[in-house]
Amino acid sequence: MNKKMTINSIQKTKGIRPLVMITAYDALFAKLFEDSVDMILVGDSLNMSFAGRKDTLTATMQQMIYHTNAVCNGAKNTFVVCDMPFGTYTNKKDALKNAIKVFQQTDADCVKIEGGADKADIVKHLVDNGIAVCGHIGLLPQSVRGEGGYKVKGRDPKEQQQLIEDARAIEEAGAFCMVIEGVISEVASEVASCIDIPVIGIGAGSDVDGQVLVFSDMLGLFEEFTPKFVKKYINGATLVKESVKRYSNEVKTREFPEDMHTY
Ligand code: KIV
């Protein structure tokens, strides 16, 4: 069994080796992932791939706490990050109240917050009150309705400068690491090189301090849409559908159950 990562050991990987993060929403998958990853993210992406909603914005604290408990139960030896859902950290008071709920009602090791310099005061308030924070800059899925779509960041000098300012502000506020999403590779690389905490990329190229993928994307379980940055390691949807089809046929033909499955 691997040794569970800590904030300290996560930070020490910077410049040494890339961090491996994956999402999970339940105990079953969390347990399967545990031996191969450094960190599990209970992302609010669960609202899309688990709950079937169109985006992450309708995820609730109740949902995040339920799924974080399931993941912590399945992966007791892994560092778990719980996403703070949209609208739960718009001011310092609410952010602290909701982050405390995560720490009191689950075994999560930190919370994740979307936003850059505009959220630095909130990150600082949480850190000052004993809550470990993972930042999330670049393309922010919780801003999809406000921005009118998922837009890759860092294409022009103004956005590039903003990303660097965001990263510096979140680091200075006390976040111990951050996710950078949907950013031009060279810009993400520059962001990672100008701060001292690990920058974990998704759709941000290879020259950052780690990678995170949504598990249902990389296992090929989510069929509707595959973003360019996703590598499908197996075609999970086909495997699942073929297996259930075989089961269905075998039940109908009475091939299943066999003697070996019978008391
Ligand atoms: O919710 C999520 O799964 C995330 C990842 C896309 C980083 O925030």
HSE-up of residue 56 (Cα within 13 Å, Cβ side): 22
pLDDT at 36: 97
Q: Among 60, 67, 86, 181, name the best residue to mutate to test ligand 1's pocket (greatest count of ligand atoms within 8 A of Cβ).
A: 181
Closest by Cα among 102, 37, 127 to 75:
37
Which two structure tokens, joined as six digits, stand for 34?
């545990």
CA of 110 to the centre of ligand 1 (A): 14
Task: Determine which residue's CA is closest to atom 1 belonging to ligand 1.
Answer: 43
How confident is the prediction for the chain on average, in pLDDT?
97
CA of 51 to the centre of ligand 1 (A): 15
Question: What pLDDT, in 10s, does the model give residues 194-204?
Answer: 999 999 999 99
Q: What angle do CA 194, 200, 205 make, to 5 degrees?
A: 85
Question: What pLDDT, in 10s, does the model give residues 239-248?
Answer: 999 999 999 9
Task: Indicate the helix (H) or strand (E) that contains 166.
Answer: helix 157-173
Task: Determine which residue's CA is closest to atom 8 belonging to ligand 1.
Answer: 43
**pTM of the entire predicted model:** 0.97
CA of 249 to the centre of ligand 1 (A): 37
Q: Among 21, 29, 39, 41, name the best residue to mutate to test ligand 1's pocket (greatest count of ligand atoms within 8 A of Cβ).
A: 41
Which two structure tokens, joined as six digits, stand for 124?
């600082």
- Residue 212 alpha carbon, nearest atom of ligand 1: 7
Could you list the active site residues? Answer: 181
Contact of 202 with 185, CB cutoff 8 Å:
no
Task: Determine which residue's CA is closest to atom 2 belonging to ligand 1.
Answer: 43
What value does the mean pLDDT take over residues 136-144?
98
Q: Per-residue pLDDT for 1 more than 70?
A: no
Question: What pLDDT, in 10s, does the model give residues 33-85?
Answer: 999 999 999 999 999 999 999 999 999 999 999 999 999 999 999 999 999 99
Which two structure tokens, joined as six digits, stand for 49?
């791939």
pLDDT at 5: 98
Q: pLDDT-based confidence at 2, cuts 50/70/90?
A: confident
Q: Among 133, 212, 213, name the best residue to mutate to test ligand 1's pocket (greatest count of ligand atoms within 8 A of Cβ).
A: 212
